[in-house]
């Protein structure tokens, strides 16, 4: 399973690299090739504007990866920071911060991200802002819960009584023990951010045409399903392989670090 | 219970505040964004006054809450109809879809979970587990088009989209229900396995109770608690999932209304849809909590 996961990821990375190397143009329009089936010129066929599906898939996954990395980095940093503060200080600070996370969690799934993306307006930047505003909550809850119990560990109390400063206590004595659980959480969240990005793009709220994105490609694929079913099938299978690979990777890391992530 | 209820009230208040603030997050002047450039200054001033955007923020929030208590969500900017009417016509369709999905989820998830638990460790269990774990990771906007491709385009058994015939609901409900059933299968399997090794099950078997009775009357009843919780929590993603699923299948529910309002920049409608979906979720969670307490008397002692 581990090998499968890594080989799928490696395959996509190599493909993106190869696409750049051979300078595949995701925006080149060939009116003779509209919705054509896979052939020698267009290995995976062409879309409704006669653009290479392969080239657009590769550009789409590249953007998707970047969005996932940036959003995960931002949400993890801010969420962990908030969770550490809440868990370390406890009391009123903790109560207020957790009340805020409760409110964010009252919006099911990506509803809040949809709402933010809607009012901010479509576009890649706003999409990332919307995902960042809503994504920190799970990290904050996770970190807070762990910090709460780590706070009373003997090594932390020993360091505290030796006069260690608060930043030192948090950074040197608490955070390292959180690392493995956070790595696992981050891996799963890469997949969920990619799904969220694709969902918003599917709804027309994310990456805008002519830029390639899997969500928008899937929507176009649905639109032309009756005349060109291969389009939606190719995008669908690609998406499946990628999500599968990331989740398998997450499972592998979870087992390796022996982490029990409570959802 | 009182503590739970105050928590519920704070969350509802927070949800109201956040949805109220949404319109103020529009970059620039929301009135200009909604109406475009082609209208007169007077039109803009009128809309601004109608939405109360010319008043101080606190007062706006007060008016917003006061109107909501009368069931007044304002009016749609495009069609000028009261938003309550729009929601009244669209919400039942979403409820119908969500209910059927839940039914599908339960009727596949429970038996399959029981089956996997009884065959624990054997190849049947392995297959069920692998399929359900991987299926639950797939988003609605993937599953929907794939089901559409197989059952509507290739096999031609069901309508592609729309709401014309009774069969139209099958594909969107399957899209939401299959994801749910995958999660339920896993949950049923795990919680059933936990109780199957308890002493009282051995006692029941020793008393000579037939195996189906042991499973259904004794084991499943105890295993039901985590399942109730999961169903409650999943109702939330079900509600959010309707936004995408309704868009894929052109199902005229509240999710599609939300997407349409975003496309038309009809922000009052967007606001109302977000509020209604979020409040439904909060309410479902509260009901789950109450149900949970009713089902297990021990929970009361613990809190």
- Assembly ipTM: 0.80
- For chain A positions 241-260, those within 8 Å of chain B (CB to CB) are 243-244, 247
Q: pLDDT tens-digit profile of B276-295?
A: 988 888 888 888 888 877 77
The structure's pTM equals 0.84
Residues B258 and A114: beta-carbon distance below 8 Å: yes
Question: Is B259 an interface residue toward A (CB < 8 Å)?
Answer: yes
Question: Is A229 an interface residue toward B (CB < 8 Å)?
Answer: yes
Question: Is A217 an interface residue toward B (CB < 8 Å)?
Answer: no
Contact A229 B153 (CB under 8 A): yes
Q: pLDDT tens-digit profile of B229-239?
A: 778 878 877 88
E strand spans, chain B: none
Q: Is the pLDDT confidence value at A112 over 90?
A: no
Task: Give residue B213's pLDDT band: very low, low, confident or very high (50, 70, 90).
Answer: confident
Q: Is the pLDDT confidence value at B257 over 60?
A: yes
φ/ψ (deg, to 5) at A250? -60, -45
Which stretch, A145-154, A219-228, B38-47, B219-228, has highest mean pLDDT? Answer: A145-154
Q: pLDDT tens-digit profile of B99-120?
A: 899 999 999 988 888 888 888 7
Contacts of residue A65, Cβ cutoff 8 Å, sequence gap at least 6: A16, A194
Contact B274 A115 (CB under 8 A): yes
Distances (CA, A) of A93 to A90, A96, A214, B4, B117: 6, 5, 41, 20, 44
Distance from B203 to chain A by nearest Cα, in Å?
Answer: 32
Secondary-structure percent of chain B, ordered helix, strand, coil, rounded to 5: 80, 0, 20
pLDDT at B303: 42
């Amino acid at each position: 399973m581990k090998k499968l996961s890594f080989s799928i990821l490696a395959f996509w990375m190599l493909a993106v690299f190869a696409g750049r190397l051979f300078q595949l143009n995701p925006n080149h329009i060939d009116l003779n090739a509209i919705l054509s089936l896979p052939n020698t010129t267009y290995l995976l066929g062409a879309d409704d504007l006669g653009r290479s599906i392969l080239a657009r898939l590769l550009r789409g996954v590249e953007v998707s990866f970047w969005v996932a990395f940036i959003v995960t980095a931002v949400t993890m940093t801010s969420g962990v920071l908030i969770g550490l503060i809440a868990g370390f200080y406890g009391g009123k600070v903790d109560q207020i911060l957790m009340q805020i996370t409760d409110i964010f969690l009252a919006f099911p799934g990506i509803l809040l991200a949809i709402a933010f993306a809607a009012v901010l307006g479509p576009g890649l930047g706003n999409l990332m802002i919307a995902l960042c505003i809503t994504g920190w909550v799970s990290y904050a809850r996770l970190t807070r819960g762990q910090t709460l119990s780590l706070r009373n560990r003997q090594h932390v109390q020993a360091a505290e009584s030796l006069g260690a400063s608060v930043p030192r206590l948090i950074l040197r004595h608490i955070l390292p023990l959180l690392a493995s659980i956070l790595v696992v959480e981050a891996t799963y969240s890469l997949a969920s951010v990619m799904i969220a990005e694709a969902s918003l793009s599917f709804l027309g709220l994310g990456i805008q045409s002519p830029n390639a994105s899997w969500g928008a490609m899937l929507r176009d694929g649905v639109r032309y399903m009756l005349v060109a079913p291969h389009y939606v099938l190719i995008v669908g299978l690609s998406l499946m392989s990628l999500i599968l690979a990331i989740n398998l990777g997450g499972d592998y890391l979870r087992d390796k670090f022996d982490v029990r992530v409570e959802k | 219970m009182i503590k739970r209820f105050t928590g519920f009230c704070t969350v509802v208040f927070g949800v109201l505040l956040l949805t109220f603030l949404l319109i103020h997050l529009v970059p620039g002047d929301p009135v200009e964004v909604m109406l475009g450039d082609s209208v007169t200054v007077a039109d803009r001033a009128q809309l601004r006054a109608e939405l109360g955007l010319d008043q101080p923020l606190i007062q706006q929030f007060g008016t917003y809450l006061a109107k909501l208590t009368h069931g007044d969500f304002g009016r749609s900017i495009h069609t000028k109809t009261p938003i309550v009417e729009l929601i009244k016509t669209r919400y039942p369709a979403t409820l119908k879809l969500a209910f059927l999905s839940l039914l599908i989820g339960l009727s596949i998830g429970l038996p399959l979970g029981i089956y996997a638990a009884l065959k624990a460790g054997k190849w049947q269990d392995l297959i069920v587990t692998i399929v359900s774990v991987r299926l639950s990771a797939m988003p609605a906007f993937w599953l929907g088009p794939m089901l559409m491709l197989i059952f509507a385009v290739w096999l031609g058994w069901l309508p592609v989209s729309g709401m014309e015939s009774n069969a139209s609901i099958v594909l969107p409900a399957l899209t939401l229900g299959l994801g749910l059933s995958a999660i339920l299968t896993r949950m049923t399997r795990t919680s059933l396995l936990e109780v199957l090794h308890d002493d009282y099950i051995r006692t029941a078997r020793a008393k000579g109770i037939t195996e189906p009775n042991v499973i259904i009357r004794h084991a499943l009843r105890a295993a039901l608690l985590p399942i109730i919780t999961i169903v409650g929590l999943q109702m939330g993603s079900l509600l959010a999932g309707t936004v995408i699923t309704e868009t894929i299948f052109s199902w005229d529910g509240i999710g599609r209304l939300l997407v349409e309002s975003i496309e038309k920049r009809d922000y009052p409608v967007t606001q109302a849809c977000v509020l209604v979906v979020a409040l439904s979720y909060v309410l479902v969670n509260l009901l789950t909590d109450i149900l949970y307490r009713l089902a297990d008397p021990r929970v009361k002692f613990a809190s």
